[in-house]
Structure 1
Amino acid sequence: MHYTFFSIVTFLLACRFSTVKGDNSCGSLKQWLQSAAVSVEIKNKGFHREVETTVELHPDALKKVSVLLLHRWPRGVYVDPYQLSFLTDKVDWQILMDSTIDLEVPAHQSLGFVTYVYTAFTEPLKVTIPIHSRYHQPSFAGGTYEFVTIDPPELLLRTEECSEWNNFDLHTVMEAPCNAYNTSICLWVNVNHQQKHSHDTLQLPIGDGSLVRPVCTVTLLVTIMCCLALSKYMWKYRIV
């Protein structure tokens, strides 16, 4: 009888301790959410850029939370998976793409895509992703540039010790892969849900559509002339 009573008391105390610990962890996560911030800088010029993202977190959160940067890329740019695989051993972050990237298609035939970037527990948290601009359709209205808007990434946080998701606003909790291997889905808290960020715009040169016919005509004439000259030379010297 005494053993049964002691077992029940021990179990209740353990449950109480676990609940308090979970509440404390969720409370700490709430505090860390308030001080978390993301800043983005686009480096280089032309068709090949680098998107450098810096994450600011509370010092106590660095080794207690998992950090995920969710990039929603427009169709006017792409990341090179072969280049990223080459960088794997040189960076302290991992990346997961939601779809296969076709490097050859132009902007008007491509789709936007999403990347999940998992960072390491280092300070400062910086991630530099090389991006490349796609070729756009030529303009027939006299325009010489195309503008592509790059949105800042969404900052997602999670901790294994906090499971009381009812304590957070439902609109800030979302599902995403737990890691770069895409083996399971976890719940993450979206820090950027109610934050407003400025957007970066890429200015890309495009072709002049009014020159398509003249260029094609001149190219065809030059090709015909070269073929005739080459044929005459081969006939003259009996080159077979």
Structure 2
Amino acid sequence: MYFALLSVLVCLSTCHSLVKKDENQDHCGLLRQCLEASTVSVELGKTGFHREVITTVELRPDVLGGIRVLLLYRWPSGVYVDPYELASLSSQRDWQVLLESSVDLELPAHKTSGFLTYVYPSYIEPIPGFLKVTIPVHGRYHEPSFSGKTFTSVSIEPPELLLRSEKCTQLNRLDLHNILDAPCTVSNSSTCSWVKIHHQQELSLQFPVGDGSAVAPVCGGTILVTMICCVALSKHMWKHQIV
């Protein structure tokens, strides 16, 4: 009797493992299909130093059950995002953002480095077929040019689309070169393994730069005008006995 009961338990355990394995393979297969069918496109809005990077993600809605979406932006040193502006716009957008580090809004481009932002779209299951994210970005001031150029180019890469399924635990069945560890949620309390898609589209922004050849005459003229004003002011104060 005990032997029969043990055999039943072993059989049930084996069946449960097989079912769980099949479910895991199914969810990993759905994740792979979603990766192959998803696209990311980026365009620019507005002009001047204050622009918008508009990202549209097209997803395959019929395979998106239980799949999470994350956009990873790798910003160059020539631009920045204003965390205070993002906070003020929080009620007007349907996504949350996590900055990798603090952003100094005053530094010029040649004295700072690039940074990362993680954008988590907010939605209620199932995921819609299209997700749209509009991020305001601002150009930094650049070093003056000594070659006569009046504008400089800043290249912006499209975001990496990261997908994750909590029910797909065997990511080694996918391409390991596309596995990336990133925060699970915007709270940044833990990291998870995500599968990424990197798109080759690239955008270029043009920002004006100063004329480096004018540095000497501008500085010399400024000093000369300052000295003349100081002399004139001193003579006026001496003449009228202003103390």
TM-score with structure 2 setting the length: 0.91
Match of 2:115 among 113, 116, 124: 113
Instruction: Specify the alignment match of 1:55 in structure 2.
Output: 57
Q: Matches of 1:207 and 1:52 in 2, distance apart?
A: 29
Q: Establish whether residue 164 from structure 1 lines up as the match of residue 166 from structure 2.
A: no
Partner SS, residue 115 of structure 1: strand
Cα deviation digits, residues 220-239 of structure 1 (max 9, x gap): 22222323333333344444
* Structure 2 segments unaligned to the other structure (5+ residues): none
Q: Matches of 2:180 and 2:64 in 1, distance apart?
A: 21
Deviation at 1:62, TM superposition (A): 4.5
CA contact (8 A) 2:57 2:131 kept: yes
Match of 1:6 among 5, 8, 16: 8
Instruction: Within 5 Å, give how 1:1-240 maps onto structure 2.
Output: 1=2, 2-121=4-123, 123=128, 124-192=130-198, 195=199, 197-240=200-243
Identity over aligned pairs, percent: 51
Deviation at 1:63, TM superposition (A): 4.8
Partner SS, residue 141 of structure 1: coil
Deviation at 1:68, TM superposition (A): 1.0
Q: Matches of 1:126 and 1:11 in 2, distance apart?
A: 45
Query: Aligned pair count?
Result: 237
TM-score with structure 1 setting the length: 0.92
Per mean C-alpha deviation after superposition, the further-off stretch among 55-64 and 43-52 is: 55-64
Deviation at 1:198, TM superposition (A): 2.4
Deviation at 1:210, TM superposition (A): 0.9
Q: Matches of 2:142 and 2:20 in 1, distance apart?
A: 57
In the alignment, residue 198 of structure 1 is paired with which amino acid?
A: Q
Cα deviation digits, residues 73-129 of structure 1 (max 9, x gap): 111111111212222232221112222211111111111111111112363311111
CA contact (8 A) 2:34 2:64 kept: no
Q: Matches of 1:118 and 1:158 in 2, distance apart?
A: 12
In the alignment, residue 84 of structure 1 is paired with which amino acid?
A: L
Q: Matches of 1:62 and 1:93 in 2, distance apart?
A: 18
Partner SS, residue 89 of structure 2: helix
Cα RMSD, aligned residues only: 1.7
Deviation at 1:174, TM superposition (A): 1.7
Partner SS, residue 66 of structure 1: strand
Q: Matches of 2:232 and 2:51 in 1, distance apart?
A: 44
* Structure 1 segments unaligned to the other structure (5+ residues): none
In the alignment, residue 104 of structure 1 is paired with which amino acid?
A: E
Q: Matches of 2:93 and 2:47 in 1, distance apart?
A: 22
In the alignment, residue 211 of structure 1 is paired with which amino acid?
A: A
Q: Matches of 2:102 and 2:146 in 1, distance apart?
A: 31
Deviation at 1:8, TM superposition (A): 2.4
- Structure 1: which 4+ aligned runs deviate by more than 4 Å? none
Cα deviation digits, residues 8-28 of structure 1 (max 9, x gap): 222222212111111111111
Cα deviation digits, residues 148-187 of structure 1 (max 9, x gap): 1111111110110111112111111121111122211111
